Amino acid sequence: MKLRIFLCVIGVVVADGPARYDTIVVGLGSAGVTAASTLARTGRRVLGIEAQGRIGGRVHTVAFGDGLVELGGEWVLGTKNSRTYAAAQQHNVTIIPQDWSKLVYYSDGTPADSQLISQLAEHRFDDGPDPPEAQGNFTTGKILEDITKNRPDLLKDQDFISGILSFVELMVNNLEGSSDWNEVTTGGDYEDLEGDQSLSWHRHGYKTFFDIMLNTYKGGPGLPNLDLKLNTEVKVIRAPQHPTECVIVECSDGSLYEADNVIVTVSLGVLKDKKSTLFSPPLPEDKQTAINKISMGVLDKVVLAFDQPWWTQNISRFLFIWKEADRKKVPALDLWTTKVVGASRPMGSSNTLTLWISGNIAKEVETLSEDTVKTKCVALLQRFMGDTLKVTVPEPTAILRTTWYSNPYTRGSYTFDNTLTPQYPDARDWLARPLTDSSGAPRVLFAGEATNRRHFGTVHGASETGYREAMRLVNKTYITIYPIFWGDKPHGWPTKSGRWPNK
């Protein structure tokens, strides 16, 4: 044991002992790759461990249709002080705004008043009251107030009111990943970055962001100080109290690794599942409370490819509102189809459509067969769009669908501020706090979008936290916010509507 401690301090690798690194990063999504690449660029020897067989985490670019589609994070949400936008700009990668033109259809195949629907749906972004309340209750009140004041004739149309409220709830749930808009608080801390909220990597793909960080963009040689180990699940992280002992990372395949410190970037969903077994000693009470109280949302996509586009080409979104009489006729097994908010056209391909499902309904759909999902989605498109456009929706040539909840290495899509947030306003800060040894040095650090109080649920927010923890180690300080940079050039300081459908 004394020999191991001595070797850990001086950084010697013993041939028959665990591989030794300065820092180990667990999870190679936006936070993990940012942390690992930042540290490697300072000369530190870094190991990145990823349970899945690819880099990107909850960003997943896939070749599909006649181009690319994003199965996870899709857009750059804002430009000012954005690490994702800065990466594209500094490497001359063109990213373009998504056109959010839309048509709204009823379940009987008739077109709705898209402008009216948009105006009423915008109330989901109204400033909430003090003290905060549930988003659903607040937004319902705002919509009814608007109708009463500005469109009183609509008060006689209860089918319209029921339909618009159900539709806006789906919009909120798709934004947050929630199952019920009354799970969401009006008193959240999320802040948009300034600038366009829907910039697309289009045919470059969001994978380009990771290529840039890892220095593999356009055939770059990578980072010599960074080792990457995929398809490797971390079983336990053993954190020492003695300042001269190493952190030990034990993997499910029996491999062991040692380091001065470890940065954990796994999703909140994984922490909820593994918090009692992943850490030795167990996590402190405040961190366990944070894990329990913060909500992990689910937003899934069903992407269909066709031989050629059959939809209106100058429109990017097609939104669905069910009439109550039509909803009542839907068989119980197919009720999930009434919770699909609509379809959008990905910018990375021209012959694909993405359908969106959130919350518990998304979890249910993940359990259905691919053929069932494809058949029901085609029928849904025919009901809402086919008859109106006077076309028969053709059989898709291929289907992709996400399973972010059932995936054991994500267990959800991203976090949101729930109605407990006002009672636990510092929960994300508790989650971000490092575990220290007896000298106060950080040994197990935490990053990921869930640890970002202002920019959670975003790729840029996750990247900010990876940089934050890397610089905590570089500067040997407890400061938790650092300038955003690429290379050695600062680009300012970090400052909700960014996820689709956002406007």
d(CA 424, CA 429): 10
Are residue 258 and residue 168 in the same domain, yes or no? no
Q: Please give the residue range of the domain that contains residue 47.
A: 2-59+203-295+418-490
CA dist 261 to 24, 183, 214, 219, Å?
7, 37, 21, 31
248 near 257, Cβ under 8 Å? yes
Q: Is the pLDDT of residue 487 over 90?
A: no
Handedness of CA 384, 386, 392, 393 (dihedral sign): negative
> Could you tell me the sign of the dihedral formed by the alpha carbons of 62, 64, 69, 70, in that order?
negative
Query: If you average pLDDT over residues 62-76, what whole number do you get?
Result: 98
Residues 55 and 331 sit within 8 Å (Cβ to Cβ): no
DSSP annotation string for 172-212 = HHHHHT-SSGGGBBTT----PPSS-S-EE-GGG-THHHHHH
Look at residue 8 in the predicted model and tell me its pLDDT.
59
- Whether residues 208 and 150 share a domain: the answer is no
Tell whether 8 and 130 lie within a shared domain.
Answer: no
Q: Is 374 contained in some domain?
A: yes
For the stretch 344-395, pLDDT in tens is: 999 999 999 999 999 999 999 999 999 999 999 999 999 999 988 899 999 9
In a domain, 221, yes or no: yes
Nearest-CA neighbor of 299 among 248, 246, 357? 357
Mean pLDDT on 236-261: 97
Is residue 129 in a domain?
yes
* Total number of domains in the chain: 2
| Percent of the chain whose pLDDT exceeds 90 | 89
Q: Quick one: pLDDT at residue 388?
A: 86
Based on the fold, state whether residues 291 and 303 are members of the same structural domain.
no
Of 401, 429, 460, which marks where a domain is finished? Answer: 401
pLDDT of residue 16: 60
DSSP codes of every residue in 321-374: E--HHHHHTS-GGGGGGGG--EEE--TT-SSEEEEEEEHHHHHHHHTS-HHHHH
Indicate if the pLDDT at residue 13 is higher than 50. Answer: no
CA distance 314 to 144: 32
The CATH number of the domain where 166 resides is what? 3.90.660.10
Instruction: Please check whether residue 316 is in contact with residue 100, taking contact to mean a CB–CB distance below 8 angstroms.
Output: yes
> Residue 481: which pLDDT band, with cuts at 50, 70 and 90?
very low
Question: Which structure tokens are listed for 487?
Answer: 């290379």
Joined together, the tokens standing for residue 503 give 């406007």
User: Residue 189 falls within a domain, yes or no?
Assistant: yes
Task: Answer yes or no: do 225 and 188 share one domain.
Answer: no
Is 490's pLDDT higher than 80?
Answer: no
Q: What interhelical angle do 135-150 and 114-121 show, nearest 10?
A: 130
Q: Residue 315 in contact with residue 342, Cβ under 8 Å?
A: no
Q: Is residue 66 part of a domain?
A: no
Crossing angle of helices 459-475 and 30-41, rounded to 10°: 30
Residues 160 and 282 in one domain: no
pLDDT value at position 449?
A: 98
Residue 37's Cβ-count burial label (10 Å; 0-12, 13-18, 19+) is buried
Does the pLDDT at position 11 exceed 90? no
User: Is the sign of the CA dihedral 361, 367, 370, 375 positive or negative?
Assistant: negative
17 pLDDT band, cuts 50/70/90, is confident
CA 134 to chain CA centroid, Å, is 22
Mean pLDDT for 87-111 is 95
Domain's final residue, options 401, 431, 446:
401
Place of tokens 């009901």: 383
Residue in 132, 137, 172 with CA at minimum distance from that of residue 421: 132
Condensed to tens digits (0 to 9), the pLDDT of residues 298-312 reads 999 999 999 999 998
Same domain? 310 vs 182:
yes
Most distant CA pair in the chain, distance: 83
- Judge whether 400 and 64 are in contact, CB under 8 Å: yes
In the chain, what is the straight-line distance between the N-terminal and C-terminal CA atoms, in Å? 60
**Is residue 5 pLDDT above 80, yes or no?**
no
Does one domain contain both 280 and 426? yes
The answer to whether position 75 is within a domain reads no
Q: Contact 501/341 with Cβ under 8 angstroms?
A: yes
Residue 261 domain-assigned (yes or no): yes
Taking the C-alpha atoms of residue 24 and residue 246, their distance in angstroms, rounded to an integer, is 11
Shared domain check, 185 and 150 = yes
Average pLDDT estimate for 115-128: 96
Rounded mean pLDDT, 131-135: 97
Task: List CB contacts of 78: < 8 A, sequence separation 6 or more.
Answer: 85, 192, 193, 194, 195, 196, 197, 460, 498
Q: How far apart are CA 496 and CA 174, in angstroms?
A: 12
d(C-alpha 318, C-alpha 393), whole Å: 14
Q: How many helices (H) and strands (E) does the chain have?
A: 15, 24
Asked if residue 226 and residue 103 are part of one domain, the reply reads no
For residues 186 and 265, membership in a common domain is answered with no
Reduced to 3 states (helix: H, G, I; strand: E, B; else coil), residue 249 is strand
- Same domain assignment for residues 303 and 386: yes
Residue 69 within any structural domain of the chain: no
- CATH code at 249? 3.50.50.60
